[in-house]
């Protein structure tokens, strides 16, 4: 069913939905002259067409060879002059089109082709026209045909002189349910060649009209209206789009601002707006004027922050505070994406998915590329994604034009395709399940490496996303420049390449005096008093220590160690995971005493490597493929299995063990994980811990002293895969793990990443015999002569 072309009473009728119109039909009008009123209408219509239609300035452009090749590959070259054939072809070629839209388009295409046939066009000419229409619908107008739902009328704005087949396609879309506006700065001369009787459209006339300027363009009209809007006192001028209220409400103290709920941000902004006098605050609060009318209607605002932090506020606590910050975001149920060092470049598959064509100007490019942004779960999300995309691409085009005096469409297209790849890659993680009170968060550790990454940051900052860029490393500069970016600079720098999303990513650096000072402070802090077994979840964070600190920290309760914290019911426990190579001053006597001093009641000792061999009996091996299947650890299967060994442990400790099995698998820190079946070895080892380990775990209170493992290897034996899994798993569970290797030999052969901090204690020594530990004293006895003549 085609729609009737009807006449309007006022220009505002264009913006009335179908059900509100005096007649059921569409408007198809030509504008050959202009006025201030008409220019305001064209600008408003242009913005509507950007959101739900198409803007064409110049020509649509013939389908490219690649367009035609793809059509032939999918559809073949068959053609029949029948409604059934056209409707079936549309269903295959444009599968997202609804039945109502499809039938309307099919009827309109058939009517146009039938007119051509009546004018004497042969079958081959009809086929060529049909294929051209199909390519244009797919590559240029897919967003239009998908929005023809019978109520909301898509808009087509055509600026310039139109030719035959272009006019036919516009007629097809108008008959199927689109409003059409032709802006013809040169008058009807070209139009009369395609509609000699002027029966398809109506010329708009009014008083006080004058010819268009010869160089009339959307770009010039947009600049003019931008200036008018800035000087406007009419708040309704700014109600077209949801606006980002970026940084207007922040205190500027860094990561704390990111944790504020939307309601607090809103109240803070209103307080500032009421208290501040009109004045320029650009660069601090993200917009030029706190009395700007765009911000009068709070319903149109979302409140986000956009901050780059250069350097670190405290070398000692930086990573730990970032980790707690991440846990807090998770506790708030925020959608969070974290990237470190570099945003992976789009691969060929991602790029191939972007539908694109040839464009005469940047406005056509922006409009037609928007079809690649889809978010069917929530249309309002797509709306602000599309608006942000248009804003940053048009701004980028303007920036390039200012720098080179040329708008290079191909360069803009390349940037836009990259940006669309990033949007499609991350939009689900950022915006899934988003409601009105949610703001997602994107964290980039390391800063932007190139213009494509910077463009993506600028895009995200104009969506409902908090953007945090961290640049802790000296010498690496982030290339992002943006007038609404808030920047914080610290004088100190730290070599941090990876954001600490989980405990294995983080190492807290200490020095001995820092440890002692923090210990003294914390021991007398009333906030460090905890009930027995108060917490049932914990994350182990590896400490980077000096070798001299081991004695200080080894027998110290966890709550008194640097880096200890609680967040969202989870304890972050600082643990030792270090390797000590060599023997200080080649003094074996003192070496054995040092080890003996570390053998507390909570300490397990392995002094013969390897401890676990591949051939050792393990009753869990045969069931590992049942316990870990399809990339998932099946907890209920494990806990209900007859071979399960941990049923006697308290319930929260059982869950803790299973949590850390999942974490060890996810980290892929053991070589071969998800490559050669090592994941099943991990499951088998983790579910077959010896009795002395499970007893320590049963008594383990995450705020008090933690269990410990000393692993001593004095021989030439290489640590086994099973031992590597064992010590890595104990570390995740919260054990202090200290490896003493007098030979300095490699103990990290099966690790995929650096997990242990290595300390060089002295010269390497070989073939040392492990003593009888019962015979080793807890202190080094010296002679009277040594005590009298020792140094110092």
Count H helices, E strands: the chain?
25, 26
Query: What's the pLDDT score for residue 48?
Result: 87
Query: From CA 93, how far away is CA 81, in angstroms rounded?
Result: 17
Query: From CA 622, how far away is CA 681, in angstroms rounded?
Result: 10
The alpha carbon of residue 158 and the mean position of all alpha carbons in its chain are separated, in whole angstroms, by: 37
Query: What's the pLDDT score for residue 232?
Result: 44
Structure tokens, 355: 């539908």
Query: From CA 34, how far away is CA 183, in angstroms rounded?
Result: 9
Query: What's the pLDDT score for residue 443?
Result: 97
Span 755-772, pLDDT tens digits: 888 899 999 999 999 999
Query: What's the pLDDT score for residue 1?
Result: 59
Is the distance from CB of 740 to CB of 712 less than 8 angstroms? yes
> 298 falls in which pLDDT band (50, 70, 90)?
low
Query: What's the pLDDT score for residue 420?
Result: 96
> 787 falls in which pLDDT band (50, 70, 90)?
very low
Is the distance from CB of 646 to CB of 694 less than 8 angstroms? yes
Query: From CA 75, how far away is CA 98, in angstroms rounded?
Result: 19
> 509 falls in which pLDDT band (50, 70, 90)?
low
Query: From CA 764, how far away is CA 416, in angstroms rounded?
Result: 58
Structure tokens, 75: 């559809």
> 399 falls in which pLDDT band (50, 70, 90)?
confident
Structure tokens, 612: 């676990």
Overall average pLDDT of the 243-262 stretch: 88
Query: What's the pLDDT score for residue 149?
Result: 67
Query: What's the pLDDT score for residue 54?
Result: 87
Structure tokens, 210: 């004058």
Whether residue 262 is predicted with pLDDT greater than 50 in this model: the reply is yes
Phi, psi of 16 (to 5 degrees): -90, 135
Query: What's the pLDDT score for residue 357?
Result: 84
Is the distance from CB of 25 to CB of 3 less than 8 angstroms? yes
Phi, psi of 570 (to 5 degrees): -120, 135
* pTM above threshold 0.85: no
Whether residue 276 is predicted with pLDDT greater than 60 in this model: the reply is no
Whether residue 469 is predicted with pLDDT greater than 70 in this model: the reply is yes
Query: What's the pLDDT score for residue 114?
Result: 93
Is the distance from CB of 764 to CB of 581 less than 8 angstroms? yes
Span 64-92, pLDDT tens digits: 888 898 899 889 999 999 999 999 999 99
Whether residue 335 is predicted with pLDDT greater than 60 in this model: the reply is yes
Structure tokens, 524: 């007398």
Mean pLDDT taken over the chain = 85
To which residue do tokens 């009395």 refer?
291
Query: From CA 582, how far away is CA 591, in angstroms rounded?
Result: 10
Query: What's the pLDDT score for residue 514?
Result: 39
Is the distance from CB of 298 to CB of 477 less than 8 angstroms? no
Whether residue 627 is predicted with pLDDT greater than 90 in this model: the reply is yes
Structure tokens, 425: 């890659």
Span 566-609, pLDDT tens digits: 887 889 999 999 999 999 999 999 999 999 999 999 999 999 88
Query: What's the pLDDT score for residue 781?
Result: 58
Residue 59 makes CB contacts below 8 A (sequence gap 6+) with: 160, 163, 166, 360
Among 5-19, 118-132, 212-226, the minimum mean pLDDT is found in 212-226
Overall average pLDDT of the 18-46 stretch: 91
Query: What's the pLDDT score for residue 177?
Result: 87
Of 292 and 263, the one with more pLDDT: 263
Whether residue 18 is predicted with pLDDT greater than 50 in this model: the reply is yes
Query: What's the pLDDT score for residue 771?
Result: 93
Span 544-577, pLDDT tens digits: 878 778 888 998 999 999 889 888 788 999 999 9
To which residue do tokens 């070398």 refer?
315
Q: Reduced to 3 states, what is the DSSP secondary structure of residue 633?
A: strand
Query: What's the pLDDT score for residue 780?
Result: 66
Query: What's the pLDDT score for residue 507?
Result: 57
Span 188-219, pLDDT tens digits: 988 999 988 898 899 999 888 999 987 788 87
Whether residue 4 is predicted with pLDDT greater than 60 in this model: the reply is yes
Query: What's the pLDDT score for residue 300?
Result: 67
Query: From CA 291, how far away is CA 298, in angstroms rounded?
Result: 13
> 696 falls in which pLDDT band (50, 70, 90)?
very high
Query: What's the pLDDT score for residue 279?
Result: 45
| Residues in a beta bridge with 486 | 307
> 421 falls in which pLDDT band (50, 70, 90)?
very high
Whether residue 229 is predicted with pLDDT greater than 80 in this model: the reply is no
Whether residue 259 is predicted with pLDDT greater than 60 in this model: the reply is yes
First to last CA, the chain: 102
Query: From CA 674, how far away is CA 681, in angstroms rounded?
Result: 11
Query: What's the pLDDT score for residue 214?
Result: 79
């Amino acid at each position: 069913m085609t729609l009737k072309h009807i006449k309007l009473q006022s220009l505002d009728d264009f913006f009335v939905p179908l059900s509100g119109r005096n007649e059921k039909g569409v408007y198809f009008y030509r504008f050959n002259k202009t006025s201030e009123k008409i220019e305001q209408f064209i600008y408003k219509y242009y913005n509507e067409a950007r959101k739900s239609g198409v803007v064409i300035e110049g020509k649509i452009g013939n389908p490219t060879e690649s367009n035609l090749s793809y059509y032939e590959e999918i559809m073949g070259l068959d053609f029949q002059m029948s409604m059934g054939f056209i409707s079936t072809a549309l269903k295959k070629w444009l599968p997202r089109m609804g039945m109502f839209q499809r039938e309307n388009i099919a009827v309109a295409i058939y009517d146009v082709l039938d007119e051509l046939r009546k004018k004497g066009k042969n079958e081959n000419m009809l086929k060529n026209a049909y294929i051209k229409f199909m390519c244009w619908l797919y590559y240029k107008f897919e967003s239009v045909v998908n929005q023809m739902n019978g109520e909301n009328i898509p808009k087509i704005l055509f600026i310039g002189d139109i030719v035959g087949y272009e006019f036919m396609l516009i007629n097809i879309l108008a008959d199927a349910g689109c409003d059409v506006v032709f802006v013809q700065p040169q008058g009807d001369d070209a139009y009369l060649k395609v509609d000699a009787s002027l029966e398809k459209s109506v010329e708009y006339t009014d008083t006080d009209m004058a010819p268009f300027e010869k160089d009339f363009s959307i770009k010039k009209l947009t600049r003019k209206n931008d200036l008018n809007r800035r000087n406007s006192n009419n708040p309704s001028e700014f109600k077209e789009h949801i606006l980002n209220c970026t940084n207007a409400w922040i205190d500027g103290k860094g990561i704390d601002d990111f944790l504020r709920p939307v309601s607090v941000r809103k109240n803070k902004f209103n307080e500032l707006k009421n208290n501040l006098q009109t004045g320029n605050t650009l660069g601090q609060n993200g917009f030029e004027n706190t009395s700007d009318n765009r911000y009068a209607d709070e319903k149109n605002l979302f409140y986000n922050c956009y901050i780059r932090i250069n350097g670190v506020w405290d070398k000692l606590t930086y990573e730990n505070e970032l980790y707690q910050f991440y846990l807090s975001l998770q506790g708030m149920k925020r959608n969070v994406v974290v990237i470190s060092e570099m945003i992976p470049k789009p691969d060929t598959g991602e790029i191939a998915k972007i539908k694109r064509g040839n464009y005469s100007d940047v406005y056509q490019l922006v409009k037609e590329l928007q079809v690649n942004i889809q978010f069917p779960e929530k249309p309002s999300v797509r709306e602000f994604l599309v608006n942000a995309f248009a804003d940053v691409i048009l701004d980028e085009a303007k920036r390039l034009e200012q720098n080179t005096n040329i708008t290079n469409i191909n360069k803009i297209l390349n940037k836009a395709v990259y940006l669309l790849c990033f949007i499609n890659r991350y939009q689900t993680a950022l915006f899934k399940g988003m409601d009105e009170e949610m703001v997602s968060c994107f964290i980039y550790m390391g800063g932007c490496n190139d213009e494509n990454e910077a463009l993506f940051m600028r895009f995200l900052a104009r969506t409902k996303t908090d953007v945090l860029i961290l640049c802790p490393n000296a010498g690496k500069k982030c290339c992002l420049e943006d007038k609404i970016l808030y920047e914080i600079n610290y004088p100190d720098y730290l070599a941090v390449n990876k954001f600490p999303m989980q405990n294995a990513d983080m190492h807290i650096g200490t020095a001995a005096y820092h440890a002692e000072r923090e210990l003294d402070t914390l021991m007398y802090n009333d906030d460090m008093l905890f009930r027995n077994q108060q917490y049932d979840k914990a994350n182990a964070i590896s400490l980077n220590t000096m070798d001299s600190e081991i004695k200080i920290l080894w027998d110290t309760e966890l709550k008194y160690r640097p880096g200890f914290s609680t967040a969202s019911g989870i304890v972050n426990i600082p643990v030792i995971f270090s390797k000590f190579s060599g023997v200080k001053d080649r003094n074996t006597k003192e070496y054995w005493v040092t080890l003996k001093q570390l053998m507390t009641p909570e300490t397990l000792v392995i002094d013969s490597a390897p401890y676990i061999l591949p051939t050792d009996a393990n009753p869990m091996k045969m069931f590992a493929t049942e316990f870990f299947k399809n990339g998932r650890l099946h907890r209920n299967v494990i806990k209900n299995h007859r071979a399960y060994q941990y049923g006697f442990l308290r319930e929260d400790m059982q869950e803790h063990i299973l949590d850390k099995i999942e974490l060890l698998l996810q980290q892929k820190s053991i070589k071969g994980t998800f490559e050669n079946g090592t994941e099943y070895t991990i499951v088998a080892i983790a579910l077959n811990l010896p009795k002395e380990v499970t007893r320590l775990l049963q008594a383990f209170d995450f705020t008090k002293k933690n269990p410990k493992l000393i692993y001593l290897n004095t021989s030439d034996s290489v640590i086994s895969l099973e031992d590597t899994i064992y010590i890595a798993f104990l570390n995740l569970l919260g054990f202090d793990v200290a490896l003493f290797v007098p030979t300095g030999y490699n103990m990290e052969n099966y690790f995929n990443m650096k997990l242990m901090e290595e300390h060089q204690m002295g010269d390497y020594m070989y073939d040392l015999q492990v003593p009888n530990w019962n015979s080793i004293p807890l202190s080094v006895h010296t002679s009277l002569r040594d005590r009298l003549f020792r140094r110092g």
